Amino acid sequence: MAKQERAIRTRQAIVEAAGAVFDEHGYTSTTIAMVLERSDVTKGALYFHFPSKEALAQAVLNEQVPFGIVPPQACKLQEIVDMTFVVGQRLLTSSLLRGSIRLAVDQEAPSRIDHGGPFRQWSERLEELLELARERGELLPTVQPRQTVELLVGCFSGIQLMSRALSGRADLGERLSVLWAHILPSIAVPGLLPALDTRADRGVRVLASPERVAS
Amino acid sequence: MAKQERAIRTRQAIVEAAGAVFDEHGYTSTTIAMVLERSDVTKGALYFHFPSKEALAQAVLNEQVPFGIVPPQACKLQEIVDMTFVVGQRLLTSSLLRGSIRLAVDQEAPSRIDHGGPFRQWSERLEELLELARERGELLPTVQPRQTVELLVGCFSGIQLMSRALSGRADLGERLSVLWAHILPSIAVPGLLPALDTRADRGVRVLASPERVAS
């Protein structure tokens, strides 16, 4: 294994461990020693990549958007729908993703950390897709992409929060399905609506499909 | 002042102080001593009403729904819209409300505390109003009130969160206006839509109106 590749793997192992510890303990109670123990790397390696707890938290926060990678679809609105269901599904299995979302949502992390980062990153990624959807004639002419994507990001944040509080996220797929049923008629041209798949188990099915993109 | 009335005022002073301290410091860092200092009541009075930090947090969590009190409207959907804008506006001025929302959203409060309480209480209150809206013929026949109100509560939670992270909640009214523009066409009968006021400053105007209900 080349030196650079090893460094990338070590860094990723640290970020994964930090995400899991932040998920379980939150920012304040997490210590670098806890991350060190979880990640099974040397103290020197950890401090080489991350000089502080703040740097660890910032790295974990920046890891969210790759969890939204989904197989490309001819219909770009379907791709956006798929992103929400896939992120919802991955929340159940990835402690890094849960840790990242906890850091973005909890107020306890110090204000030096950019809590807004993930909100902006998701909005930018979704806006690219929504602009593609517009070019392909999928959107109603009234749609203002920036407003709509920021609404989606805000709604997703709160829906996963409520689902966590009420069902440990078990009903997140159902709640996302309800969101899309209410919002799509204000976004998509009517002819597209019957073809869009927004059933609660969409995330499970996308992740099980053979052409799924590895994450 | 009767003894009972004094007790109620003392209790309210403690809850207000606790809300402010939880808002600023979160659950873990808050101590009863901090609440005591802020509330200007005696230690004996505080422990008489609240034997523990947990009891204080639970009381603060239960204080959210009264912030949604708005003047009655002939159109019940308008009343629901008004609740969201008024709560958004009151978030700017009430540290008790901010503290209560922080406790519901942050994962750091121990799991013995019922994080789901405010989500359920808002949903119940909104469901009553949405059932009235249905009786008055305001709703599309496809609306399932429980699903719609839980969606609204989830979306509101996330939108205020995103607004806090990106603008210190300065743009919350704008974001709520975008939410309603996307969701109302899936809820209200079409004839009602032009009459519903969902402009960003709705909360300010409702709170300034002479018939507003004191809170």
CB contacts < 8 Å between A and B, how many? 128
| pLDDT value at residue B153 | 97
| pLDDT value at residue A215 | 45
Question: CB distance B157–A156 less than 8 Å?
Answer: no
> What does the pLDDT average to over B59-79?
94
Question: CB distance B182–A148 less than 8 Å?
Answer: yes
Residues in chain A with pLDDT < 70? 1, 211-215
Distance from CA of B178 to the nearest CA of A (A): 7
Neighbours of A2 (CB within 10 A): 7
- Give the rounded distance of the alpha carbon of A35 from its chain centre: 22
| pLDDT value at residue B137 | 97
Asked whether the predicted pLDDT for residue B195 surpasses 50, the reply is yes
| pLDDT value at residue A35 | 96
Three-point CA angle A92, A98, A104, nearest 5°: 145
Closest partner CB to A116 (pick from B148, B165, B185): B165
Q: Which residues of A touch B (CB under 8 A)?
A: 26, 28-29, 102, 104-108, 115-116, 119-120, 147-148, 150-151, 153-163, 165-166, 175, 178-179, 181-183, 185-187
The alpha carbon dihedral of A117, A118, A119, A123 has a sign of positive
| pLDDT value at residue B213 | 53
Asked whether the predicted pLDDT for residue B212 surpasses 70, the reply is no
Question: CB distance A150–B181 less than 8 Å?
Answer: no
- For residue B166, list chain A residues with Cβ-Cβ distance below 8 A: 116, 119-120
With beta carbons less than 8 A apart as the criterion, state whether B149 and B156 touch.
no
| pLDDT value at residue A2 | 82
Q: Which residues pair with B139 in a beta bridge?
A: B188
Q: What is the 3-state secondary structure (H, E, C) of chain A?
A: CCHHHHHHHHHHHHHHHHHHHHHHHHHHHCCHHHHHHHHCCCHHHHHHHCCCHHHHHHHHHCCCHHHHCCCCCCCHHHHHHHHHHHHHHHHHHCHHHHHHHHHHHCCCCCCCCCCCHHHHHHHHHHHHHHHHHHHCCCECCCCCHHHHHHHHHHHHHHHHHHHHHHHCCCCHHHHHHHHHHHHHHHCECHHHHHHCCCCCCHHHHHHHCCCCCCC
Q: Which residues pair with B188 in a beta bridge?
A: B139
Question: CB distance A28–B157 less than 8 Å?
Answer: no
Question: CB distance B179–A105 less than 8 Å?
Answer: no
Tokens at A111, concatenated: 């204000």
> What does the pLDDT average to over B192-200?
97
- For residue B165, list chain A residues with Cβ-Cβ distance below 8 A: 104, 115-116, 119
What is the distance between the alpha carbons of residues B175 and A184, in angstroms, rounded to a whole number?
18
More confident residue, B28 or A134: A134
Domain architecture of chain A: domains with CATH:
3-59 (1.10.10.60), 65-208 (1.10.357.10)
- Radius of gyration of chain B from its Cα atoms, rounded to whole angstroms: 18
Closest partner CB to B162 (pick from A153, A160, A186): A153
Tokens at B92, concatenated: 């700017």
